[in-house]
Each structure stands twice: as C-alpha cells, then as structure tokens.
Structure 1
Amino acid sequence: MAESGGIDPVSDPVSDPASDPGVAGDDPGYRAAVIDLLGVISYGEITAFERLAEDAKLAPTMQDKMALASMAATELGKVAPLHQRVSELGGDPFEAMAPFGDAIDNFHRHTAPSDWLEGLVKAFVGDGLADDFYREIAAFLDPVTRDLVVSSMDEDGGHAVFVVDRVRSVIAADPTVAGRLALWGRRLMGEALTQAQRVAADRDSLTALLTGGVDRPGLDLAALGRMFTRLTERHADRMAQLGLDS
C-alpha cells in the first residue's frame, strides 16, 4: 500500500543509466531486468489484493470491511498497466511474475496476521517498505518505466489515512496493544528485508539495476548502505505515524 510523502532516492545522485527512453528496447540486459522488476511488483500487487480481501473477513464493522475491499481493489487495479509495460518490452506478464512466487508467498506465510489490527499494520508498514524499495530502484529506470513504477507506488486512494486513524484509535482506547503491534512491526521489517535479499540473490538482473556495470553507473557499497538507512528511517516514520515504537 503506497503512501504520500515517499523517500527521495536522488539524495544519492548518479547519472541516470536509462535516461534514453529507447534504452529499454535497445539493451537486452536492461530490458530483462526491467521485466523482472515489473514481474515482482505485479506479483506483489496481486498477493496484496488477495491478502486484503482475506483480511476484510476479520474487520469488526461493515465500514471497515468496505474500506479493506476498496484497498484490495486499488492494489489489483495497479497490475494491468504493469503487465502492459512488460508486453511492450517483449515479455510475457505471467512468465515475468513466476520466478517471484516462492519468495513473496513465503513472506506472507511467515507474516500472516492473527487479527484485524495486525493486518492493518502489515498493510501500512510491510507494503510501505516494499514501495520505498521500488521507488529507490525506479531512479535507475528509463523515464517511461520509472513514471509507471512511481505512480503505482503513490496511488493509495487515501487508505494510509484510514489505517493510521484506525490503529491510533484502538491504541488510544487500549494502550496495552501498542507493545504487541510494535513487536509485529519490527518482525515485518526483518522478514521483508530477508525476502528482498533472497529475491536479489536469485535474480542477478535486479541486483545489476542497482550496482550497474561497465557501461552503466550504479551504487557502490557506501551508497547501498545509505539506501538501506533511508528505508529504515522511513519504516520508523511509519511506525511513529501509527503511534508505535520502531
């Protein structure tokens, strides 16, 4: 689930390796990397739709059920433009998603919420962390793909406001839940980073988008460290918005 006020990856400025709109079609290695990236984002959006629809069953009121259903619909609505871009680059959208099923499904199995509140925190914190990571990678994409990825991260229909309001209201009524939810948020952070590392290790093309190559600048180890610091800081910001310690 995206959120307004996202990170600004240009704080580690590099010359844009894909500033030419045609490079996505001209460079087979880059094209394969972009198809991989769009594949993992697409699969993530579909599983977010499924998870939110399932979490709606735990919602305490019909209004809350409708809010989660709307959130689920928003996630699913992001998939078609991503698939269209994969097709434009000569890929098959479903083949592009296939390599990422195990990693993303494992993340959701390890972070299945036990109740309505944990589901809300996961939607806000877990999805937000993924969105921030994709925004970071977007800095290294061609303009067409970059705009598509960033726009898909930014469209949440005001759902972040809904989640923050609900969680903070429950904590105000029962402060004892804050400790449990804070631990849950930290667990989500750890699991998300673990799965992201596994995906990157399995797909060299995604790693290459960040690290570059002989013909493309990328991030060195220090810049990669700063990127993960930004991700951690954004996670802490989200936890604070929920009224939780990170």
Structure 2
Amino acid sequence: MTAAVPSDPEYLAGAVDLLGVLGYGALTAFERLAEDARTAPTLADKVEIAQLAARQMDHFDRVAVRLTDLGSDVMTAMRPFHAPFDAFHAHTAPKDWLEGLLKTYVGDGFAADFYREVAAFVDADTRALVNEVLANELQAEYVVTRVTEAIRADRRVAGRLALWGRRLVGEALSQAQRVAADRDALTSLLTGTVDRPGLDLAAISRMFTRLVERHTARMARLGLQA
C-alpha cells in the first residue's frame, strides 16, 4: 500500500527538511561508526559497531524512499544540512574510542529527541518512519555496557567522560537551535500555521527543557554527572 502524500506546499517543505536532516544524520552516523569500528579495541567490538553502521545505511535508504514519495530527492533534501552537521562534528571530534561511543549515545541521542519532537507535527506515515529510524535501543544498550565497563575498570575515566558529555550536549543544543532557526520550513512545523496549530514560545521552551532532562537521564544511566 502506497503511503499517503500530503498536498500543502508549506507543510511538504517542512517534512522534506525533516527527512533531509535525518538522511544526512544517518549518512554521517555511518561514517563515524565505521571509523569507530576501525579503532575498536576487540574484534567483537568491531563486529558490533560495523552492524550498527550498516543499520544507518538502511535508515538512509528508507528516508530516501519516503522523500521520493513526497516528490523530492534525498541529495537535494540533505544539501542545506551539510554545513551545520559538518561544523558540529568538526567541533566535537572525539579523542579516543570511548569518547566516540559517548558521542554516539549522548550527541546523537539529543538530536534524535529533538527530531522526534518535530515529528509530532508531521503526517502519520512520515512520523512512523522518523520514529523507526531514530529508535536506537540496541545501540544505546551496547554503548552503555561498554562505557560502564570502562568506568568500573578505571574510575578516572568517569570525570573525563562527564566533561565530554556536557560539552556534547551544549554543542548539540546549539546545533538544534541553529538548524531550526535557519530553516523556516522546519520551524513552521513546530510553530504551526493558521490551519496547523503548533507550539508557542512557552511550549518551545518546555520542549527544550524536556530535551535537557532526557540528556540528564542518559548520563545518569552511565553513572555520570550531566
């Protein structure tokens, strides 16, 4: 059965932006995970991370199909997000394998929470795809296990990773705000129109509070101070 395609041009532009973000996010996540696999300390870790990377390419392919349904092209949809994503990754380059794992869990987790919030305002088919693409329970479980093992083995690791986690969320918050501010179509999904009610300023503030609270919960799961 073919997925439904909304016809409102303003809405479509926002949905395409959201999917473009996710497509480029999946592509860059694949690249980073492939690099993490290269530097993984054990063969089992290499296999695990390589499998996580492969899932990202599956996510990319599914986003590309939905963009085609919406009358767009994945390469075109991703183009506006090259610069902000690349700048974020340049500013948050991990120094070692553990920092790379934490970036996957904390940085990507914060971004995923933000895009889930935006997805509340898209059509059911696109929203279902967004939520499926952003589901990361297996990835989170793996990262939590490996990071907590490292902390138990050397408590000095905890302080360094806690500082790294705080830096990551600050950069991720700035990136989310920058992307939303720079893309009017994406912002309109959140703020709404006359025909499509959205969030007012107070509700947007509460949304960012929720994002920070979820970040704090992720750090607590690792035994780290947010």
Alpha-carbon distance, 1:235 to partner: 0.3
Pairing partner for 1:50 from 31, 39, 42: 31
CA contact (8 A) 1:56 1:65 kept: yes
Hey, what's the Cα distance between the residues in 2 that align with 1:210 and 1:159?
A: 28
Instruction: State the 4+ residue runs in structure 1 displaced beyond 6 angstroms.
Output: none
Aligned position for 1:62: 43
TM (norm. structure 2) is 0.96
More helix by share: 2
Identity, in percent, stands at: 60
One-letter identity of the residue aligned with 2:167: R
Hey, what's the Cα distance between the residues in 1 that align with 2:142 and 2:15?
A: 33
- What stretches of structure 2 of length at least 5 have no aligned partner? none
Hey, what's the Cα distance between the residues in 2 that align with 1:159 and 1:213?
A: 37
Alpha-carbon distance, 1:25 to partner: 2.8
Hey, what's the Cα distance between the residues in 1 that align with 2:140 and 2:176?
A: 23
CA contact (8 A) 1:74 1:157 kept: no
- The number of residue pairs the alignment matches comes to 224
Q: How does 1:124-203 map to 2 (within 5 A)?
A: 124-154=105-135, 156=136, 158-203=138-183
Aligned position for 2:100: 119
Hey, what's the Cα distance between the residues in 2 that align with 1:152 and 1:143?
A: 14
- C-alpha distance after superposition, 1:84-104 (max 9, x if no partner): 111111111110001100000
SS at match of 2:6: helix
TM (norm. structure 1) is 0.88
One-letter identity of the residue aligned with 1:175: R
Q: CA RMSD in A?
A: 1.2
- C-alpha distance after superposition, 1:149-189 (max 9, x if no partner): 111111x3622111111110110110011011000001110
- 2:12 matched to 1:31? yes
Aligned position for 2:83: 102
Aligned position for 2:59: 78
Hey, what's the Cα distance between the residues in 1 that align with 2:180 and 2:98?
A: 30
Hey, what's the Cα distance between the residues in 1 that align with 2:100 and 2:117?
A: 25
Hey, what's the Cα distance between the residues in 2 that align with 1:159 and 1:196?
A: 22
CA contact (8 A) 1:122 1:185 kept: yes
CA contact (8 A) 2:118 2:190 kept: yes
The one of the two structures with greater contact order (alpha-carbon pairs below 8 A, sep at least 6) is 1
Aligned position for 2:204: 224
